[in-house]
Amino acid sequence: MGVTIEDVARRAGVSVSTVSRALNRKGRISEQTRQRIFDIARELEYPTTPIQATPRRRSNTIGIMFNRHLRSLVSDPFYGLVMVGVEESLRQDGYHVLFSTLGERDEDMAAICGFASERRVDGLILAGCDVDREYIDRIVSLEIPLVLVDNNIISPKVPCVMTDNITGAREAVDHLIDLGHEDIAFVSGPMTHSSLYERHQGYRQALEARGLPVRQELSVIYEDVLDFSVEGGFAAATRLMSRSKKPTAIFAANDSLALGVMKAMLGLGLAVPGDVSVVGFDDVEAAAHTSPPLTTVRVDKTDLGRHAARLLSELIDGGSECVPYKISVCTELIVRGSTGPRPRE
């Protein structure tokens, strides 16, 4: 068997994608590293001349798309900050960044096909689990380098960047249990959303690990992404507090829901955290400025974007065999004023 690019990478102590960029004279690599890789390749008798049989015109443009129905960049900056991370990283590599939203399927599918056939973009980042699966399948079939953010599909395997949702949710619920809470409610959007499903798993795992039951009556899970909002949190909290068995703490799967929960408590004449503790997820900017400030799980949105940009750049330069399938970004529990000890009976 002949020498492979993996052999060169192993000898040089670098990634396969770095070898690919060096030999093809692409990307930001120091001249010293590039020369060392060339010397090792020649020593191993690995071809150092870029293959010219199937040249591909590069546009030096990356497309970033998300579904306009889930989140607004004005009211919820989650994906806006992801895009900031993508743009910061890719601009350093000399790429232009094109932003777009997905809505009407036929119109947007035509746009994607146009990007592919005319090579107007070198790769795409799709942000959000609510992106129609048909878009993903079509992009994969057109062989456009693709990275998903906040989404994870089993087949076909597409490189993705996800938050470590399970660990983050477990830490949030463990915090409430440590404060003495046992009746902990869960409010969320649809379980078809990868991140929300994982946050529910973390909620369940935390309760089960501490010997507490997972009670269906303490969960409000919306099927429509449009309810994944402040209004949805308000309605869910009102419903939960009308039941005979009331929670003393509520874990909301995002900060918008948590803010709605806190608004409902104010309307019901209940104190946060005196009567009910509230925890959110994401740590949007508004979380630190509520009254009381919201305890939440911080997601480094910009870091998600940076990882996605790095994955896509390596995909473009080296191919899918050179990148990991999934990158998980760590979370951090930010304890503020919305959580406190379980109220006395």
Task: Provide the pLDDT for residue 175.
Answer: 98
Per-residue pLDDT band for 288 (boundaries 50, 70, 90) equals: very high
Q: How many CB atoms lie within 10 A of CB 125?
A: 26
Could you tell me if 48 and 23 are in contact, meaning their C-beta atoms sit under 8 angstroms apart? yes
| Most trustworthy range by pLDDT among 150-159, 248-257, 312-321 | 248-257
**Based on the number of CB atoms within 10 Å of its own CB, is 44 exposed (0-12), middle (13-18) or buried (19 or more)?**
middle
Domains of the chain, start order? 5-43 (no CATH), 61-163+301-330 (3.40.50.2300), 165-299 (3.40.50.2300)
**Based on the number of CB atoms within 10 Å of its own CB, is 154 exposed (0-12), middle (13-18) or buried (19 or more)?**
exposed
**Mean of pLDDT over the chain:** 84
Please state the rounded mean pLDDT for residues 282-310: 93
Please state the rounded mean pLDDT for residues 281-296: 94
More confident residue, 236 or 97: 236
Lowest mean pLDDT among 127-131, 174-178, 280-284, 319-323: 319-323
State residue 196 phi and psi, 5-degree precision. Answer: -70, -40
The C-alpha atoms of residue 94 and residue 204 are separated, in whole angstroms, by 45
Could you tell me if 123 and 145 are in contact, meaning their C-beta atoms sit under 8 angstroms apart? yes
| Most trustworthy range by pLDDT among 73-77, 94-98, 153-157, 246-250 | 246-250
Please state the rounded mean pLDDT for residues 151-159: 83
Token readout for 201 is 């798993």
- Rg value, the chain, Cα: 23
The C-alpha atoms of residue 240 and residue 244 are separated, in whole angstroms, by 9
Please state the rounded mean pLDDT for residues 104-126: 68
SS3 165: helix
Would the pLDDT of 106 be above 60? no
Run of H or E residues at 341: none
Would the pLDDT of 73 be above 50? no
Q: Count the residues in the chain.
A: 345
User: For 160-197, how does the pLDDT look when each residue is reduced to its tens digit (9 = 90+)?
Assistant: 999 999 999 999 999 999 999 999 999 999 898 888 99
Task: Provide the pLDDT for residue 223.
Answer: 85
